[in-house]
Chains A and B, each alone.
Chain A
Amino acid sequence: MKLAVVVFPGSNCDVDMYHAAADGIGADTSYVSHHCTDLSQYDGILLPGGFSYGDYLRCGAIARFSPVMDAVGEAIERGALVLGVCNGFQILLEAGLLPGAVYCNNSLKFHCSPVRLQVVNADTAFSSQYSEEESIVVPVAHGEGQYFCDADILDDLKKNNQIVFRYQDNPNGSLDNIAGIINRRGNVLGMMPHPERAVEGILGSTDGLPLFQSMLQDWRGSRHAAVE
């Protein structure tokens, strides 16, 4: 499986993401610049956390107009998996590739600690290696992670099982305890918590690893289907 970690000016979780992909699941992983305009060789795109463009204007607002985001859009069109974590999630929201928005935590504090999440939907390309309702521990580290959307979008998210992770102890005031959502087609996942920081015991939790294993599993399945 070939994965790309997109590096924006101000990304700071790119190395963790690379480690999770390359060492966690043994994927053939590369760093890709925000100037890159062709991602056609990759099976999956990883948008890491950080503070792209200094979080100027709004988190992710400038990064979404990077040249690479057109290529990310094309990758989504052809069915590649796209995972956005933290700032990566913010970029996907700003780009309109996922519905809703995030803004400053209701506590006004930068929240940096492990949090307990519930796997709400274990039937996605990013969560198949979890079990439904499973409780996992993954760190969060953000000041602006309060998820918001209007009532219609929330209804849609629920109706289409697009809420993949919920906080069990909401750290930021997110609507309906939403921690991670997926697009309708099921190939774009965005979440504020950091699964890439929970892929080996020495980091305090391995609960993030099944997310990457799920992506690998999905890729194997789709490749198998293509051969048949």
Chain B
Amino acid sequence: MYTVKVYVTLKPSVLDPQGQAVKDSLHYLDYTGVEDVRMGKYMELQLRASDRGEASKNVEAMCERLLANPVIEQYRYEITEAKS
């Protein structure tokens, strides 16, 4: 069993209105050092797979097909073996 952490964010080329609003709000709180904020989604999967390679292959396919929209979003993920 593997624990998979998936992070989905808008591509750098896509304007992120939510991130922009959060950045403005942080500036309002005087955190003026904040240069940029990108919002995204975090998903945690418990995944059964025979090995790490298979898990990784499956996660890539899931991201391409459903978890992210490749037109506007990018993704990255971390796979760790879950303690059984």
B14, CB-defined interface residue at 8 Å: yes
B1-25: CB near A (< 8 Å → 1, else 0) gives: 0000000001001110110010000
User: What are 14 A-to-B residue pairs whose CB atoms are below 8 Å?
Assistant: A57-B41, A57-B66, A61-B66, A61-B69, A101-B71, A103-B72, A104-B17, A104-B18, A105-B17, A106-B15, A106-B17, A148-B14, A149-B71, A150-B13
Is B37 located at the chain interface by the 8 A CB criterion? no
Interface status of A58 (Cβ within 8 A of chain B): yes
Chain A residues, CB < 8 A from B17: 104-108, 146, 173
Q: How large is the interface on B (under 10, 10 to 19, 20 to 34, 35 or more residues)?
A: 10 to 19
Chain A neighbourhood of B69, CB < 8 A: 58, 61, 94, 101
Instruction: Select which of B21, B66, B67, B72 is within 8 A of A148 by beta carbon.
Output: B72
A interface: dominant SS: loop
State how many angstroms separate the Cβ of A119 from the closest Cβ of chain B: 26
**B22 CB to nearest chain A CB (Å):** 10
B14's nearest neighbour on chain A, judged by CB, is A148
- CB-CB nearest in chain A for B43: A57
CB of A65 closer than 8 Å to a CB of B: yes
For window 91-113 of chain A, which residues contact chain B by CB distance below 8 Å? Answer: 93-94, 100-101, 103-108
Q: In the complex, A58 Cα to B69 Cα: how many Å?
A: 8
Q: Closest residue of chain B to A106, judged by CB?
A: B17
Specify the chain A residue showing the minimal Cβ separation from B67: A57
Contact of B18 among A57, A101, A108 (CB under 8 A): A108
CA distance A104 to B41 in the complex (A): 14
Given contacts A108-B21, A148-B72, A149-B71, contact A65 B66 (CB under 8 A): yes
Residue of B nearest to A172 (CB): B17
In-complex Cβ contact of A103 among B10, B13, B67 (8 A): B10
Residues on B with C-beta less than 8 A from A93 are 71
Residue of B nearest to A62 (CB): B66
Quote the shortest CB–CB distance from A147 to chain B (angstroms).
Answer: 10
Q: How far is the CB of B18 from chain A (nearest CB, A)?
A: 6
